[in-house]
């Protein structure tokens, strides 16, 4: 579907909600943007389990810092 940028601006919400095929947004007949559905949508509970398997803790991560470490952190 090809649509002028002014029409896209006026109906953006509806167009995105009903998006089934790529939309080619044009400005004076020249394509300036392509709007399409994402290839893969990852469903994730934003509160629980979203980062599972992505964060690792190293041994001693909660140990007090040495005096030399404090200097390096400044």
CATH number, domain containing residue 16: 3.40.1620
67 belongs to a structural domain: no
22 belongs to a structural domain: yes
Structural domain total, the chain: 1
30 belongs to a structural domain: yes
53 belongs to a structural domain: no
23 belongs to a structural domain: yes
State which residues form the domain around 17.
1-37
How far, in Å, CA of 71 to CA of 44, rounded?
Answer: 40
Report residue 15: phi and psi, to 5°: -65, -40
pTM of the model: 0.53
Instruction: Write the pLDDT tens digit of every residue in 19-59.
Output: 999 999 999 999 999 999 887 766 666 667 777 778 787 88
* Alpha-helical runs (H) found in the chain: 5-17, 67-73
């Amino acid at each position: 579907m090809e649509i002028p940028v002014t029409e896209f601006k006026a109906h953006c919400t509806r167009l995105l909600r009903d998006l089934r095929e790529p939309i080619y947004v044009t400005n004076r007949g020249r394509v300036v943007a392509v709007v399409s559905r994402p290839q893969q949508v990852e469903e994730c509970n934003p509160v629980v389990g979203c980062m599972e398997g992505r964060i690792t803790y190293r041994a001693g991560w909660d140990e007090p810092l040495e005096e030399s470490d404090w200097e390096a952190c400044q």
